């Protein structure tokens, strides 16, 4: 038995081939995590280069052409190589089977194939960088993208391929959630992270094919001269934007829904209180996923689309605020009268609540047509989506990493350092992006390498804090990986935060290669803090 | 859990001949000019054929209804995409700012005929470019 206890998915089986050909969801999740974090650093580095260029007006650090490449690659890498694959691919893969009590995902081989398809697509993106970059912006708008001499084709081909990985992961998760739950684990007893992954997967399999179609149409026009988007050939450039945003707006929810799921796990566990409004949070996930399909035109208010559709899109956009508000208020009510402990995951969850709310509310500004015509393509938009994507998704991702780190890897990081890093992320983030709201309101357009004198103060302020933000994220990630070197192991049976879902109560840390040593039997729901007392156990 | 439905060979043959017949209809109808209805009829026949394949050859009719729901969802999302996009393309210029409400795409494209000719690097190749620059200055 003691022999058996030491055996976990990290040390058994051994050897390089056992990793390359692994079918274990936890190992595949770990591979996604490592590659995701590498791309996160690459994208972050590009962001810092841009910020240093923008510290003063004029071309001081890089030329206009390099700047165009930098913002395109920053966007494409962060979205297509990090955020979209990383949270479902890494945390979703590691946790979903554990949370539903399964030995693995429904299709383990397909899961490994998804990872290699993702890697193959990433190679094309890397080729683009080595071959001189691409300068169209991550949206690849026509007509420029059909004419630009930069590497539009390899980049779009890479995104096309990565899309398939996304679809297959989504398919796998849906089958797992439907078919692999242990007896008694009904839909309303699932952890909310599972609901979030379910909503995300639905969006992945319904929206991503449209991205693939868009990329194919773009290539058909470039190579064969078939008129789809080029008016001279009888096409319509705005049609490209319809195609692109029909995928890319739901993709925003592919990015944010798993983050909502993480927050729904962290807050009740670290407040030791039953989640408020379980069913409302679960159904708001599905309604966000659905409404997300009806609002894509709010990215196109200045594209020349008809006023009638402007009104329709603007009107429907406001509906997104309802399920999102339901979630935010439910999380706040969950904390009310709970035993809130300021552990690193909770610090990130609190930062998320603050930052995401700002991101969401400024989205309502931008959803109003009249105001958007003024703010479109300014730094206001840049600040808004960074508050959602970084302040929301990446902060939640960091929170989730800290929350499940001892579970996934059996080691505990230095919590004081982690808290300092979390505070640094929060302050650095606000320092970087809040001035950008003001810049946008004063008319600073996005995607320019230089600017007028009047913007110097706010830009240099933003650049200064972006350095603090970069250092804090670096510190947070290094602190996590340092825990392997510190060898501060947690006891295999420990439950450091007192979590109640299956991954905390029924499997060791790090988990056994087959997840559970015996078939788990469900004793309580994931948030039953009002019924059962779960001790926090930690060997220190 | 779920049992596989065994379809009699007769059903397959009936569906197959129905598909062949509908292929014939597609060919036949292409010789008849129905005006704007051409595309509608062609799509309708194609949709019926695809549905027959999905329901009988792919067993959707006898399968778990969840799969049918997913299939119908994909049609619904496609419908949403096309319908809402048409709200744009069919209503361009609906504020009366542009008189050419009909055929908006072709009318907009006509603008490109008035632009000065340029080579692939964007350099002007005839005398029109000077007028164009003057216009720019006025704005």
What is the residue-level pLDDT of chain A in tens, covering all 540 positions?
Answer: 344 457 889 888 888 999 999 999 999 999 999 999 999 999 999 999 999 999 999 888 899 999 999 999 999 999 999 999 888 999 999 999 999 999 999 999 999 999 999 999 999 999 998 898 899 999 988 888 888 888 888 998 999 999 999 999 999 999 999 999 999 999 999 999 999 999 999 999 888 988 889 888 988 888 888 888 888 888 888 899 999 999 999 999 999 999 999 999 999 999 999 999 999 999 999 999 999 999 999 999 998 888 889 999 999 999 999 999 999 999 999 999 999 999 999 999 999 999 999 999 999 999 999 999 999 999 999 999 999 999 999 999 999 999 999 999 999 999 999 999 999 999 999 999 999 999 999 999 999 999 999 999 999 999 999 999 999 999 999 999 999 888 888 888 889 999 999 999 999 989 999 999 888 999 899 999 999 888 888 765
All domains of chain A in start order, with CATH: 2-505 (1.20.210.10)
Q: Assess if residue B22 is contained within a domain.
A: yes
Any B CB within 8 A of A239 CB? yes
Count of domains observed in chain B: 2
At which residue do the structure tokens 């995409």 appear?
A: B81
Least Cα distance to A417 among A472, A351, A484, A497 occurs for: A472
Question: pLDDT tens digits, residue range B66-89?
Answer: 888 888 888 888 888 889 888 888
Closest to A234 (Cβ–Cβ): which among B74, B92, B109? B109
CA dist A260 and A356 (Å) reads 10
Check A307 against B95: CB less than 8 A apart: yes
Is the residue at B118 inside a domain?
Answer: yes
Does residue B97 fall inside a structural domain? no
CA angle B53, B56, B58 (to 5 degrees): 70
Domain assignment of residue B116, yes or no: yes
Helix axes B9-29, B37-52, angle to 10 degrees: 170
Does residue B23 lie within any of the structural domains?
Answer: yes
Angle at CA of residue A246, ends A244 and A251, nearest 5° = 90
What is the C-alpha radius of gyration for chain B, rounded to an integer number of angstroms? 26
Specify the DSSP class assigned to residue A106: S
Q: Between B84, B87, B88, which is nearest A238 by CB?
A: B88
Q: Phi and psi at residue A447, in whole multiples of 5°? A: 65, 30
Inform me whether the C-beta atom of residue A370 falls under 8 Å from chain B C-beta atoms.
Answer: no
Measuring CA to CA, how many Å separate A163 from each of A104, A117, A134, A152, A253?
Answer: 23, 9, 19, 16, 15
Query: B133 pLDDT exceeds 60?
Result: no
A58 in contact with chain B, both atoms CB, cutoff 8 A:
no
Domain containing B19: what range?
Answer: 9-63
Q: How far apart are CA A55 and CA A50, in angstroms?
A: 9
B95 in a domain, yes or no?
A: no
Q: Tell me how far apart the alpha carbons of residues A172 and A177 are, in angstroms, rounded to a whole number.
A: 9
- Burial code of A177-186, b = ≥16 C-beta within 10 A, e = fewer? beebbeeebe
What are A479's two structure tokens?
């602190």
Ordered DSSP codes for A265-319: HHHHHHHTSPPTTHHHHHHHHHHHHHHTTS-GGGG-TTTT--HHHHHHHHHHHHH
Residue A223's Cβ-count burial label (10 Å; 0-12, 13-18, 19+) is exposed
ipTM over 0.95: no
CB contact (8 A) between residue B88 and residue A242: yes
Q: 10 Å Cβ neighbour count for A115? A: 22
The answer as to whether B81 is a domain residue is: no
Tell me if B78 is assigned to some domain. no
Burial class (CB in 10 A: 0-12, 13-18, 19+), A455: buried
Would the CB atoms of B85 and A312 count as touching at under 8 Å? Answer: no
Q: Indicate the burial class of A533 (C-beta count within 10 angstroms; 0-12, 13-18, 19 or more).
A: exposed
> Which residue stretches of A77-229 are H helix?
84-86, 93-100, 108-130, 144-147, 152-179, 192-224
Predicted pLDDT of residue A388: 96
Polymer length of chain B: 139
Task: Please tell me which residue of chain A has the smallest CA distance to B66.
Answer: A178
Check CB contact under 8 Å for A309 and B80. Answer: no
- List the single residue in A178, A231, A293 with the smallest CB-CB distance to B112: A231
Question: CA-nearest residue of chain A to B85?
Answer: A242
Distance, C-alpha A357 to centroid of its chain = 16
Closest CB to A206: pick one of B73, B87, B94. Answer: B73
Q: How does B123-134 read in b/e, with b if 16+ C-beta sit within 10 Å?
A: eeeeeeeeeeee
């Amino acid at each position: 038995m003691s022999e058996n206890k030491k055996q976990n998915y990290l040390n058994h089986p051994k050897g390089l081939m056992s990793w390359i050909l692994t079918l274990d969801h936890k190992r595949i999740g770990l591979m996604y995590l490592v590659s995701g974090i590498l791309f996160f650093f690459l994208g972050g580095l590009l962001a810092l280069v841009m910020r240093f260029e923008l510290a003063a007006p004029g071309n001081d650090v890089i030329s206009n052409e390099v700047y165009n490449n930098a913002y395109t690659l920053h966007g494409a890498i962060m979205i297509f190589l990090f955020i979209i694959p990383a949270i479902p691919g890494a945390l979703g893969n590691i946790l979903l089977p554990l949370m539903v009590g399964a030995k693995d995902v429904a299709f383990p081989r397909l899961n490994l194939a998804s990872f290699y398809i993702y890697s193959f697509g990433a190679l094309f993106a890397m080729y683009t960088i080595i071959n001189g970059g691409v300068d169209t912006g991550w949206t690849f708008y026509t007509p420029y993208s059909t004419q630009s001499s930069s590497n539009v084709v390899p980049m779009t081909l890479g995104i096309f391929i990565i899309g398939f990985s996304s679809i297959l992961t989504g398919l796998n998760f849906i089958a797992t959630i439907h078919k692999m739950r242990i007896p008694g684990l009904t839909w309303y007893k699932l952890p909310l992270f599972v609901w979030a992954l379910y909503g995300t997967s639905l969006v992945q399999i319904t929206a991503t094919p449209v991205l693939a179609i868009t990329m194919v149409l773009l290539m058909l026009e470039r190579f064969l001269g078939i008129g789809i988007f080029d008016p001279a050939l009888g096409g319509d450039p705005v049609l490209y934007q319809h195609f692109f945003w029909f995928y890319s707006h739901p993709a925003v929810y592919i990015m944010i829904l798993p983050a909502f799921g993480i927050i729904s796990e962290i807050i009740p566990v670290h407040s030791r209180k039953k989640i408020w409004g379980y069913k409302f949070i679960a159904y708001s996930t599905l309604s966000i996923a659905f409404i997300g399909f009806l609002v894509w035109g709010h990215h196109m208010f200045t594209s020349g689309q008809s006023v009638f559709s402007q009104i329709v899109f603007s009107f429907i956009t406001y509906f997104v605020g309802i399920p999102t508000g339901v979630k935010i208020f439910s999380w706040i009510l969950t904390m009310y009268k709970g035993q809130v402990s300021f552990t690193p995951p909770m610090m990130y969850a609190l930062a998320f609540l603050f930052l995401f709310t700002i991101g969401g509310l400024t989205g309502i500004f931008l959803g109003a047509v009249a105001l958007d015509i003024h703010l479109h393509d300014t730094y206001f938009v840049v600040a808004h989506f960074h508050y959602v994507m970084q302040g929301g998704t990446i902060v939640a991702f960091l929170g989730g990493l800290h929350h499940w780190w001892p579970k996934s890897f059996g080691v505990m990081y230095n919590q004081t350092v982690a808290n300092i890093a979390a505070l640094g992320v929060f302050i650095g983030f606000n320092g970087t992006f809040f001035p950008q709201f003001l810049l946008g309101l004063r008319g600073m357009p996005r995607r320019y390498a230089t600017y007028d004198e009047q913007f110097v103060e706010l830009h240099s302020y933003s650049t200064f804090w972006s350095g603090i933000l970069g250092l804090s994220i670096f510190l947070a990630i290094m602190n996590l990986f340092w825990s392997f070197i510190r060898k501060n192991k947690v006891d295999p049976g420990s439950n450091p935060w007192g979590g109640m879902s299956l991954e905390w109560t029924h499997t060791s840390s790090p988990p056994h290669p087959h997840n559970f040593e015996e078939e788990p039997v469900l004793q309580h729901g994931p948030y039953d803090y009002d019924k059962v007392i779960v001790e926090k156990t930690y060997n220190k | 859990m779920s049992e596989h439905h065994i379809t009699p060979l007769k059903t397959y043959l009936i569906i197959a001949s129905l598909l062949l017949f509908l292929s014939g209809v597609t060919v036949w109808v292409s010789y008849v000019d129905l005006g704007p209805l051409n595309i509608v009829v062609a799509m309708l026949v194609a949709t019926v054929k695809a549905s027959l394949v999905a329901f009988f050859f792919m067993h959707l009719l006898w399968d778990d209804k969840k799969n049918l729901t997913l299939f119908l969802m994909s049609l619904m999302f496609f419908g949403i995409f096309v319908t809402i996009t048409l709200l744009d393309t069919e209503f361009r210029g609906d504020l009366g700012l542009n008189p050419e409400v009909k055929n908006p795409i072709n009318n907009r494209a006509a603008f490109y005929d008035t632009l000065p000719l340029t080579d692939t690097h964007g350099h002007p190749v005839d005398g029109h470019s000077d007028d164009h620059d003057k216009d720019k200055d006025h704005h």
